Structure 1
Amino acid sequence: MQQSFRQLEERNLSVEVTLMQWSPKMDLIALANENGEVLLQRLTWQRQPIWTLSPPSEDEGKEVRALAWRPDGKVLAVGYQSGRLLLCRVEKAEVIHTTHVDQPITCMQWSAALDKGLDSEANGQSSVKADLGAAGDAPDENSSEKFLPKLPSLSKISSIKSYIDDNVEDAKKLKEQKRLNMLAVGCNGGTLILLAFGVAPIVNVDMSQFIPTTKCGDFLGASLSSDLHTICVIVEYSNEEDVTEIYNSLLTLDCILLASRHQEISRYAKKFGKIRTLMEYLEATLKAVTEAKEDILIEMENKLTKYAQQKPTEESLSDEFLQLLLWGKASPELQQFLVHDLTEKGLKKLDQSVENSYVSIQKLVLKHIHSVGRSLLFQLSELKGMALWYDKYGMLGLNATAIQDAISAVGSFMLKANELLQVIESSLKNFKAFFRWLYVIVMQLMEEPIQQSISKMYQRDINFVADFLAENFTDEPSLDVTKSGFTLERVGQYLRKEDLQFPVSTAPNSWQDFVASSPSLRGSDLLFPWQRERSLSQLHDVVKDAVDHALSRPQSVGGESLSCRESFTLDKRSETDHPEYRTLSQQSLQDQSKLLTVFMTEPSPAQCIYMTRQHTKPDRSSQNETEMVCLTFGTLGRSDPDESIVSLAAESHLVLDAAFYGDHSLSLLLQEVKDEGSINNGKPVLCQLSLESLQAEVEFTPMSQVKGHLSSGQHISIDAGPLVTSRRMDNMRAGRLAVSGSRKVACVLFSNQRRVRLFDMDAEDEGEDEEDDEENQLEDSSMVVAEEGSGTDN
C-alpha cells in the first residue's frame, strides 16, 4: 500500500553527519558530525543551526559516539569516544553536568519509568502512587528551601559556568522531574552504567560475568523497560582461545532492586544532584578566591631579602626597623632602601592592592564559602538520615559511616575557612598600620608635606607595628636567594596544595582541656576535627574524596543486584571485518510489558532484519521466554483487486535502516532490488510497519529453538512486505533513518552523509516529490560554532 508522507525540507550539510536523534517533545533534531560537533536544528531547517556544541578540548576521543534525549526533551546527553558524558540544556546549549567513565562510550538510551508499569508489592503498598516523586513517608525534597537561604551568584566575580547564576539550587534541572527516568550508557569493554535522571549512577556492572569469556568488546545496545524490571543489552565478545572471531550476544537482565525501590532511587538521585551542584559551586568559589589573591607581597619580600643580604652591617633588619620605630633614626642604607626601592608610590600601591585582595577574599569566605558549607552539611545530614533507614535507603548502598566522614570533612573545611578569616583580619590590621608608618617615614625622608591625620601614631598603632615586625621579621634570610626570610604573605599558603608553612599557634584553653578529658566528646560526630597543619586547598581535596566515596557505593550495590535471565548468541564476524553500520533499535511497549529489539546481523544493506520480543515481568511459564522473528520484504503492500494497472514496484527489497516510530509502528528504510539483484536502478522506500499487525499475523519463534547463531540461517524468514505502508523516494541514494513517533516526523540521511530529507509522516503530499533542478541545488548550510552558553536566533 502506498502512503504519501509529505516531504518538508531537503538540505545540504557541509560536514558528514554520523548520528541523528529527534527530540521527543519538540520539533528539534540533534546531529553529530565527524568533526565532533553537535548541532541542533529545527524542523524547518534554517541556514544556521540553533546552536552548535564544540567538541571537548581533549586531543583524542572527540568523536561523538551516542546521543540521547531526556524524555521531557529539555536535556540532551552527548557521549564521546574519550568517555566524557555531557548533559546539555537545550535552551542555551549549556553543559549542566559532566560525567567521566573509564571506557569509550558506545551507546546510550534514555528511558522514562511509568507509574502504571510499576508495582508496589515489594514496598508493602496496596496501590501504585500516581506520582513517583511523592510519598508521605519521604523527606521533604524542598526542605532546604525552607531552612537555608539561596546561594549568592558567582557570575560577577569569577569566570564560571553561567547556569549557576540562573538557579544554583536546581542547576541540574531536576526539580521538575516528577517521574523517574534512567539513562543507560554502554561502554567499550562491557561496562553498563545506569544514571538516574542522567546524573546519579545507580548501576555499574561488568557484563563479562554474564558471558562465557572475559573479553568484552563494544556495547551495541542497552534498553531499560518502562517498568524497570528488565534490561535488554547486546554486547560484543570474543573467546579467549580464538580472539579472531567476534560474537554478538543478547542478554536479558532482571533488575528487581530498581523496580521495587524506584521511589527511593528518585529521591536519592535528586539529593545526589543537589550535592554535586554544591560541590561545583564550592570549587568555583575557591577558584574565585585564588583569582582574588594578589602576589604583590612576594615582590616586597624579595626586595627585603635582597636588601638584607647586601647591607654592610651585621645588625638584623628587624632591629633596624624597631630602632626606626622607637627612636625615629635609620641608617643611610635603610634610608636609601626606603626612598628608592620601596618608594612612596610603591607603598601606596602595595597598601591598596593588599587591602583589595584581602577584602575580596574575606567577602568570598563570609558570603559564599559559609553559605555553601552550611548547605552541604544540611544535604549530607539528610542523606545520612536516609542511609540510617536501611529498609528503604540503606539497601540501595547508602552507608551512614561514609556519609559521616564526608560531614566531618566539610566541618573541618569550614573550621579552616574561619581560621583563614582570622588570619586575614589580623594581617589587614597589622599591614595597614605598618604601611602607613612606612609611608610617613618615606615622606619625612623626602621632606614632603604629610597630612596631620596620617602622621599621628597612637600607642595602639605602635603596638600593631611592633607585633608585625616581631611576627614577620624575626628570621634572617638564608644565603639561598630562592628563599625569603620574611613571612609577610600568610594568606596565600591556605590556597596551596601543601601543608601550612606557618600554622596558627593557639594556646591551650579550658574548652580544649574539657574535650580532652571527656572520651565521649572526643569521639562525638558533633565535634568537627581541626586540621591545624593542613591548608584550605588540601581540605577541599579531602572533602571531594569523602563525598565521592559516600556517593559511590549505590552504583556497586545496584550492579550486584542484577541477574542474567537469558543469554543468546546472535551472530559472529571475523576480527578483520570492518565493523560497518548495522541497525539496532529498542522499544519498551508500555501497555504490553514487552521489550522489542530490531537489529541486523550483516552490514547495511541487509537481506533481512531481526526482531526479538522479551517479557519484562516474566513468570515461570515457558511462554515468557525471549522470542524472535526474521523479516524480509518482497512486494510491498497488499494487492488491490480493483487496481487495473500493473504495479511497477520491485519484487524484493533490502533493508538499509530501521527505527521504532513509537509503541505502535516500526519505520523502515528499504532499497528496491531490480535487474537480477542489482540495487543501482532501484529507489529507496520509506515504510511504516504496524507492530500490532506484525504480532497478530506473524508467529514468533522462541530463541531456545534457534539452532546456532542467527547469521547461520537456521531459521524461517517471514515476508513482511504485505504489512507495510510505503513511499518511494526519487533522486536520492538513502543511507540512514531517524524518526519520532511523538512528533510524527522522519529524517532520511543520504548515503554520502551530507544531505538530508525531512518528512511529515502524518500528512498527505501536496505536490510532486521533486522540485526543479535549480531549486534542489541548495547552498551548504554553514556550521558556525556558537560561543559557549549562547544560541543563534533564527
Structure 2
Amino acid sequence: MMSKQWSSAMNSFNEKFSILSSLIVSHGGLDGNPQDEFLSLLFGARTSPPLHQFLVNSLGEAGLKRMSKAVYGAGKELHVIIHEHLHPAVETMGFRVGELRGFSRWHSRFKNIGLDERLIENATEKTGMFLVQVERFARVLAVVIQLFQNFFIWVSKCIKILLPEPTDQIQQPNSELVVLFLKYIFDHDPVGQFLESSDGNRGIAANPDTTKQIEELVAFGGFSDTGFLERTLSMEFNQLEQCFKEAFFMPFSTVSKKIYCEDFLPLYPSPTSTTSILNAPTSVSYYKGDFSYVTNRETSQPCLLDYICFRIPDELLDSANCIGILKGLTCHSSSTDKGPTSIAAVLLRIPEGFQCVDLSLYKENQLILLLTESTSSSENPGQSWMMMLQMSILPFTSISRASLGNLWSLHELKGSAVELNLSRGKVRCIPHMVTAPLAVSASRGVASVFSARKHALVYILDEDEDEVSDME
C-alpha cells in the first residue's frame, strides 16, 4: 500500500519535470541539466529560455499546486500507515518475542517442547532490527517530505516573480534545503528505495562513513548485523520471517516426535485431490454425555463423551452436501476392556440449494451450522443462515468398533441420512453472503461470522430476538 501511494506521486512528479529536460534539449547550444538550471536561478543568474518556458507555461501555479498536493498527500498517507499500523504491530511483535526469549532460557521447563534459546535469540534480534528499519524509514520519509515542501515553495516564488505577481504572502524558502533537494532528491528516490520489492537483489547504497560508525557501535552492545543499512523494508521482513519459521518449526518437530497414536479412524476415504479435505469444516468437543447407547460399560467411571462433526467432501458420496457426526470414539481405550465396544454416528444431508460454509459444536448436544445459498452469484449475492441443531433429537446409529476398518459403514448410513430443513432447529437469516471461519463462544453465548462485505457479524445465540452488531 505504501509503495503504491508513493509511486503514484513520484510518477506524477517525474512526468511533469521531465518536460524541462526536453525543453533544454530542444534549445540547442545549452549545455546543462534541470538541476543546473535551477541552481543558476537560485544563485541569481538570468533565467534561461527553457526554464522560463517550463515555469510559466508548462508547469504554472495550478500545476505546481496539484504536484505539491499529490506529494504531500502521499507522504501523509505513509505517515499514517507507519505510525498507526506498522510501528504498533512491530512493537507488539517485539514484546511477544521478548516473552518467548525469557521462556527459552528456562531450559528445564521449555527445552523439552523445542523452545530453542539460540533460535529465539536470533528471532528477537531480527525483530529489533526490523523495528530499527521502520524508525529509519519514518525519519527518511519526514526529511524527504520537508525537502519537497521547501522546493515547491521556492518554485512557487520563482513563478510569481516571473509573471510578475506579488510574493509577500509566500513563505520564505530555505536556500540550503533547495540545494540539498536538487543534489539528493530531484533525480533520486530514497523513500522508493525502502519500498522496493524483494524480488530483485537491489539494495540501498549505504554511506561508507555511516557504515563505519555502525560497526563501531557493535562493540558497545549494538546489533551485530550491520548490513541492515543496505536492506529494504521488504528484504528485512523476509529475513525476519525466515527466522520465525526456523524458531517455530522447532517446537512443531520436537512435539511431533513425542506423539504416538494407538488407533486411527479415517473419517472418509481420501480423494484424489487433498484440496477439499484441507477445506472441509470440522469441529471436535467433549461433553458429559449419555452413554445409554453403549454396551459393556462401567458407568460408574467418569468419562467425557466426545463429538466429532465434519462436512464430507462432495466427491466421496453419490449424494453430495452431507455432514457426519461421531460420538463416543475416544471413550474407548484399546489397552483395557472397560470402555464401550461401539460408537454412534449419523449423517445429515444439507437441503438442496444450500451449502455448509462452516460448523461448530456449541455447549452440550448443540450444533451450529453456517449455510449459504449455493446458487448465489455476483449479480445476486443471496443470503445466509445460521442454524442451531439439537443433536439429542438425531437418530444416532450404533456402530461396532469391529467395522471401523470399513470407515464406520459410511455408505451403509447414507441410506438413512437425515434430511435437514430450516424448520428443524433455531434458524437466523443473515442478509449477506458469509465466509469461514465461524467463531462460537460457549461461555459468552455468541457467534461471529464474516460477511463478504468484510464486516464481522456478532449474534447472541441464546436469545430469541435477532440481536446482531456489525463491526468493521
TM tier relative to shorter chain: 0.5 to 0.7
Distance, in Å, in 2 between the alignment partners of 1:569 and 1:363 is: 51
* Residues 1:396 and 1:529: Cα distance change in structure 2 (over 3 Å): farther
* Residues 1:500 and 1:358: Cα distance change in structure 2 (over 3 Å): farther
Q: Does residue 1:784 correspond to 2:431, yes or no?
A: yes
Amino acid at match of 2:423: V
* Residues 1:510 and 1:430: Cα distance change in structure 2 (over 3 Å): same
1:570-719 equivalences under 5 Å are 592-593=302-303, 622-623=336-337, 627-629=340-342
Structure 1 residue aligned with 2:6, among 293, 301, 304?
293
1:560-575 equivalences under 5 Å are 560-566=257-263
Structure 2 residue aligned with 1:555, among 252, 256, 269?
252
Amino acid at match of 2:260: S
Amino acid at match of 1:757: R
- Indicate the residue corresponding to 2:21 in structure 1: 308
Distance, in Å, in 2 between the alignment partners of 1:661 and 1:350 is: 58
Structure 2 residue aligned with 1:395, among 101, 112, 115?
112
- Indicate the residue corresponding to 2:98 in structure 1: 381
Distance, in Å, in 1 between the alignment partners of 2:136 and 2:250 is: 33
- Indicate the residue corresponding to 2:71 in structure 1: 354
CA contact (8 A) 1:387 1:393 kept: yes
* Residues 1:326 and 1:781: Cα distance change in structure 2 (over 3 Å): closer
What is the CA distance between 1:319 and its match in structure 2?
1.9
What whole-Å deviation, never above 9, does each CA across 1:253-310 have from its counterpart, x for those lacking one? xxxxxxxxxxxxxxxxxxxxxxxxxxxxxxxxxx4x4565362332221233343244
Q: Does residue 1:493 correspond to 2:210, yes or no?
A: no
1:176-191 equivalences under 5 Å are none
Structure 2 residue aligned with 1:503, among 187, 201, 205?
205
* Residues 1:500 and 1:345: Cα distance change in structure 2 (over 3 Å): farther
Distance, in Å, in 2 between the alignment partners of 1:711 and 1:408 is: 50
SS at match of 1:315: coil
* Residues 1:613 and 1:358: Cα distance change in structure 2 (over 3 Å): closer
What is the CA distance between 1:335 and its match in structure 2?
0.7
* Residues 1:571 and 1:361: Cα distance change in structure 2 (over 3 Å): closer
* Residues 1:298 and 1:594: Cα distance change in structure 2 (over 3 Å): closer
- Indicate the residue corresponding to 1:216 in structure 2: none
CA contact (8 A) 1:587 1:595 kept: yes
What is the CA distance between 1:469 and its match in structure 2?
1.7
SS at match of 1:428: helix
Structure 2 unmatched ranges of 5 or more: 273-282, 290-300, 310-316, 320-324, 350-360, 367-391, 410-414, 433-450, 460-465, 468-472
Give the superposed CA RMSD: 4.9
What is the CA distance between 1:343 and its match in structure 2?
1.1
Distance, in Å, in 2 between the alignment partners of 1:507 and 1:441 is: 36
* Residues 1:661 and 1:688: Cα distance change in structure 2 (over 3 Å): farther
CA contact (8 A) 1:362 1:421 kept: yes
What whole-Å deviation, never above 9, does each CA across 1:679-728 have from its counterpart, x for those lacking one? xxxxxxx96999xxx9xxxxx99x6xx59967999xxxxxxxxxxxxxxx
Distance, in Å, in 2 between the alignment partners of 1:428 and 1:393 is: 48
SS at match of 1:449: coil
Q: RCO greater where, 1 or 2, for CA within 8 Å and sep 6 or more?
A: 1
CA contact (8 A) 2:94 2:127 kept: yes
- Decide which structure has greater helix share: 2
* Residues 1:445 and 1:398: Cα distance change in structure 2 (over 3 Å): same
What is the CA distance between 1:561 and its match in structure 2?
1.6
Amino acid at match of 1:789: A
Distance, in Å, in 2 between the alignment partners of 1:425 and 1:536 is: 16
SS at match of 2:341: strand
- Decide which structure has greater strand share: 1
Distance, in Å, in 2 between the alignment partners of 1:573 and 1:531 is: 48
CA contact (8 A) 2:39 2:179 kept: yes
Distance, in Å, in 2 between the alignment partners of 1:573 and 1:564 is: 19
Distance, in Å, in 1 between the alignment partners of 2:205 and 2:308 is: 65
CA contact (8 A) 1:585 1:597 kept: yes
How high is the TM-score relative to the length of structure 2?
0.60
What whole-Å deviation, never above 9, does each CA across 1:215-255 have from its counterpart, x for those lacking one? xxxxxxxxxxxxxxxxxxxxxxxxxxxxxxxxxxxxxxxxx
CA contact (8 A) 1:296 1:354 kept: yes
SS at match of 1:564: coil
CA contact (8 A) 1:593 1:616 kept: no
CA contact (8 A) 2:197 2:234 kept: yes
What is the CA distance between 1:415 and its match in structure 2?
1.9
CA contact (8 A) 2:203 2:231 kept: no
Distance, in Å, in 2 between the alignment partners of 1:572 and 1:372 is: 43
CA contact (8 A) 2:55 2:159 kept: yes
CA contact (8 A) 1:417 1:536 kept: yes
Amino acid at match of 1:503: A
* Residues 1:307 and 1:435: Cα distance change in structure 2 (over 3 Å): same
What is the CA distance between 1:336 and its match in structure 2?
0.6
- Indicate the residue corresponding to 1:535 in structure 2: 232
Amino acid at match of 1:564: C
Amino acid at match of 1:623: D
CA contact (8 A) 1:293 1:492 kept: yes
Q: Does residue 1:447 correspond to 2:191, yes or no?
A: no
What is the CA distance between 1:349 and its match in structure 2?
2.6
What is the CA distance between 1:396 and its match in structure 2?
1.8
What is the CA distance between 1:537 and its match in structure 2?
2.8
What is the CA distance between 1:382 and its match in structure 2?
0.9
1:374-523 equivalences under 5 Å are 374-451=91-168, 454=171, 456=172, 461-472=174-185, 486-487=187-188, 489-498=189-198, 503-505=205-207, 507-508=209-210, 511-512=213-214, 514-515=216-217, 518=219
* Residues 1:734 and 1:758: Cα distance change in structure 2 (over 3 Å): farther
What whole-Å deviation, never above 9, does each CA across 1:181-201 have from its counterpart, x for those lacking one? xxxxxxxxxxxxxxxxxxxxx
1:766-777 equivalences under 5 Å are none
Distance, in Å, in 1 between the alignment partners of 2:180 and 2:54 is: 22
Structure 1 residue aligned with 2:423, among 752, 756, 770?
756
Distance, in Å, in 1 between the alignment partners of 2:270 and 2:180 is: 80
Amino acid at match of 2:38: F
SS at match of 2:154: helix
